[in-house]
Each structure stands twice: as C-alpha cells, then as structure tokens.
Amino acid sequence: MIRILFVHAVVVVAWLGAQGPPQVAVGTDFTLLRKPTGEVLAFGGNWNGQLGLGDNATRLSPTLVPALQGASMLDAGLAHALMLLPDGTVKSWGNNNFGQLGRPSGSSGIPTQIPGLTGVVAVACGRDFSLALAVNSGVTKVYGWGYNGGALGLGTLLPANAPTEITSLQGAAPVIAMAAGRFTTYFLKADGTVWACGSNLSGQLGQGNVIMSSTPVQVPIPAFITSMAAGDFHAFALDNAGNAWCWGQNTNYALGTGTNTNVLSPMLHPSLSGVSAVAAGQVHTLAMLQDGTVKCMGGGSSVQLGTGATTNRMTPDNVTAITACQAVFAGAEQSFIIQNNGAVMAFGKNTYGQLGNGASGTPVLTPTSILALCNQGPALALALAPAGSNHVIMTLSCNGTVGATPLGYFNAFSINPSNVSAPGTGWWHGLHIDASEITEWVTLASAGEPFCFGPMASWGAAATFPVAPSALSGITIHGVSVLINSGGVVESSPVMSRTF
C-alpha cells in the first residue's frame, strides 16, 4: 500500500524506460513486483482484479502479468494500482468505488489508460486515492483523484473522479516527490521542504495539532529533506545528512522513539543515523542503513518486522540476517527487501498469498527468498577508453560482480549525438564512474553495446576516459539509467554501486 516515490531534484524524472531497478508495490493484501526488464509479476488477493490479470482469482506465487509489461513505475493502494509507462501515460486497474482509477467506469481487472494524463514522471497510491506528478513544457504539476477527505489537497473534502490539478502546489520550487498514506499525502519540493494535507487525527500533518487540512501545509522540519515515507498514520523524512525525522501515530511504536506517545511535530529520531531509505507500513517501519543492514520498529503482531517474533519493537532492532540490502518496501502488515544479489525477501502477513511464497494463511517470521532477480536483465557495461589504449568493456551485474572483456586499441571517439548509432530521445542503461573529481557518463544500447561516452560538461566534443583500465583503486562504479536527447544527458538515477 505504501511506496516511497523519489524523483531527483535536478530534473524531475522517473525511470522512463522499460528497464531499471526492481520495485515492489505493496497493496494491502496483494503485491506487484517490477523486474529490471520492465516485466511485472503479481500475487496475492485479487477480489477487485487488482492483480491486473483480468480475473478475480488469487495467485499464491509470482505470476507474469501480460498487460503490465514495460512498466516504468508501479504503486498499489487498498485494492487498486497504477502503472507509469515510458511515454508518460498512466494505466489503472482494480477497485474504483471512489473514482481512484481516474476514469468513469466500475472496478476492472483490465489495466486501462487514464484519459488526459501526459508527461507523467511519477505516480502514488493512497488507500483509495491516486496521485500523478507530470512535467509538460517545463511546467511541473501534481494531479489527484479518488477518495478525498482532504488527502487530494484540492481545498475540498469531495472525491474527484478524474485527475484534478492541485493548484496550491504551484510555486518557485516544484514538487519532486510524493508519498501517500491512508488518508494523508506528502509532497517533497526541490527546495527540500515537505508539504502535507489530509487527515491529522494522530498528528501526521506535523503541525503540532490534530487539525486536518484540505490544502497542503508545510511540515516544519529544520533540515533539507531528500526523501519521505508515509505509513497509514505516521511519516518519516530523511535529510541530506542521513538523519531521520518522524511524526504522527506512535501507539504501536511505529516511530521507534522508545515511547508509544503520538508525535505531533517532526522530531529528529533519537537512535537512527546513516539512513539511506525508509519504508512505512500500517503500524511498522523499516529503515535501510548505509551499511546495507535494515532496522525495524513498531507493531509486530503479523511478524512484519522480520525478527522471528510477534512482539512490538519500541526502538529500532535488526531485521534477521539482512546485511546487504539495496531496497526496502512495506505494506499494511507485510514487508519486502531486495538484497544486493537480487534476491527478493518477504516476511509478515500472508493471508491471501501476498508474500508470493506459494502458500497462504501462514505468516512468514523472517526474511525468506521468494525470487531471484539477478541476471534477469542485461548487464550494465562501459568502455574504459583512454586515447590509444586498450578499450575494455566492464560489466556490473545485479549481484555486484564485475567482469572485463578486452576490445582492442582505438583512438578516442566523439560523443556528439549525430555520431552515435541510435541518436535521439530514449532511455538507456549505463555506468557512472567516480574517479577523484572526474565524472564520466556512459550510455549504452539495450543489447549492452556502448555507443558513446564522455564528460557531461563536454557533450558534443571528443572525449577520452581519464582512468586506465588497470587503475581501479579508489573508484566507485554506479549503475545508472540515463535520459538522452538532442541536448545530451539530462539526468541519471543510481541503481547499485561497487567501490574498487
């Protein structure tokens, strides 16, 4: 149900391509899993057709969804879901009792395009409402539809059956990310501020009171925020120093502050630091640390904490046997972790098979692998190409291993778009190299063949790679997805990294 959606601040983009990092969209009792190839697997409850398979049959194991192939991004609510496509359009399916599908029809298990939405770069689902972040002609707009109660930020409590712009979010700083809780929505702007609207019975608006707001209000956090996570009635925000800020409902210790008192204003978390990502569920929270371990806190009655026990955790505790995590996801009472080796780990409530382990009814106490994503997509590659030196293809696989293939000796080549084999707009995989203060951007075709590279600042001019293949000490390689247009590299997003 809850999904953190972060879009980089330099240029508002999402993974606009059929390939990218894996993602888990966790609904209340169902799950959608996007593979690195853009293929989508679904499992769990399906009474409203929320698996997108065109029927209402429950699936206990990951099942390929033919209608959802090529997804750039997914999100899931109580019983509906959204898919962002590479062309900036959005499809919806599942329950439509409150208009959360954004089209005038009943509930449907057939993914169908939402009319009127173009240029979309991110989507989010609350319990029974939907959000889209779009950029058209350089203008950023946020749209909301479905159940309202103030969560849509439209200044009214009435539902919206079609995407409606949240005009009060317009300003000098555009919205770059969204996070949706049960009845509350959070927006992150490019200036590092957080804005919220909707229900506030537990202080989840962070205003120091319990008064709801039908228009976005700024959450007073004295730090530059880079990402957010929304639980049902609580929220977390991470600042640019890796600190965690939290507020909202805490009766089940979801904030992990050591007490069960609700927090009405954002507070610096007393025991979390070096945090790289947070996922929030109904009454529990997962925090991925920079060292690859995962902390858990909050309600554990459905073993959603992954500790092997049903007891709550008042303060952050270790999720069992997780030491190399690359992403965390939380649903109502279930959790997912993707390890650096591509293994998808699931734990928690499994009443309808929403953990995808082939069973139903019995909860899973500790992280258990349900799927291996490694090698299910093309390896990332780049050419180390000093002028007159041996060109080498370096491949970074999803489990972090690196391979090298000599290509022979060539002179430096141009990175002007007119000289590449596939010029024009498109998303390609590549690698980002950090070597001292020099940053190189590499773009590749879908088959893994490099066709151009060079410094971002010198696009259009011949460039040579500054580091010889043998000089790998102190270099960090990051997998990235790069948008190429006639003007050059516009933006990139990290996938994984390894330091030599």
Mean pLDDT by 10 residues, the chain (500 residues): 27 39 93 90 97 97 93 96 95 97 93 96 97 94 97 97 96 94 97 97 98 98 96 96 97 97 98 96 96 96 96 97 93 94 93 97 96 51 35 41 38 26 29 31 29 29 29 37 32 35
In the block, residue with structure tokens 């990294």: 497
Distance CA 90, CA 71 (A): 10
Q: At CA 175, angle to CA 174 and CA 178, rounded to 5?
A: 175
Closest-CA residue to 75 (of 17, 16, 143, 5) = 5
Phi and psi at 418, nearest 5°, equal -70, -15
Distance CA 152, CA 143 (A): 8
DSSP 2: B
Q: How far apart are the first and last CA of the chain?
A: 38
pLDDT score for 335: 98
In 342-389, the DSSP E strands lie at: 343-348, 364-372, 380-384
DSSP 174: P
Closest-CA residue to 347 (of 287, 409, 379, 304) = 304
Closest-CA residue to 117 (of 144, 94, 152) = 144
Whether the CB-CB separation of 370 and 357 falls below 8 Å is answered with yes
Distance CA 275, CA 190 (A): 20
Q: What is the CA radius of gyration of the chain?
A: 22
Cα–chain-centroid distance for residue 14?
9
pLDDT score for 102: 97
Distance CA 424, CA 248 (A): 47
Whether the CB-CB separation of 180 and 2 falls below 8 Å is answered with yes
Tokens of 174: 């555009």
Distance CA 164, CA 99 (A): 12
Whether the CB-CB separation of 6 and 179 falls below 8 Å is answered with no
Whether the CB-CB separation of 444 and 426 falls below 8 Å is answered with no
Distance CA 377, CA 442 (A): 18
Cα–chain-centroid distance for residue 209?
30
Tokens of 378: 């093309």
Closest-CA residue to 266 (of 236, 304, 309, 230) = 236
Closest-CA residue to 239 (of 288, 293, 295, 194) = 194
In 340-461, the DSSP E strands lie at: 343-348, 364-372, 380-384, 390-396, 402-409, 413-414, 426-435, 438-444, 450-455
Closest-CA residue to 457 (of 487, 480, 420) = 487
Considering the chain, tell me which residue range(s) the CATH 2.130.10.30 domain(s) occupy: 5-372
In the block, residue with structure tokens 């190409």: 385
Say yes or no: domain 5-372 is CATH 2.130.10.30.
yes
Number of C-beta neighbours around residue 9 at 10 A = 18
DSSP for 249-287 reads: --TT-TT-SSS---EEEEEE-SS--SEEEEEE-SSEEEE
Distance CA 151, CA 124 (A): 12
Distance CA 89, CA 115 (A): 9
Task: Kindly compute the dihedral angle of the four CA atoms of residues 212, 223, 194, 492, in this order, to the nearest 10 degrees.
Answer: -160
Distance CA 42, CA 19 (A): 18
pLDDT score for 20: 64
Distance CA 425, CA 2 (A): 32
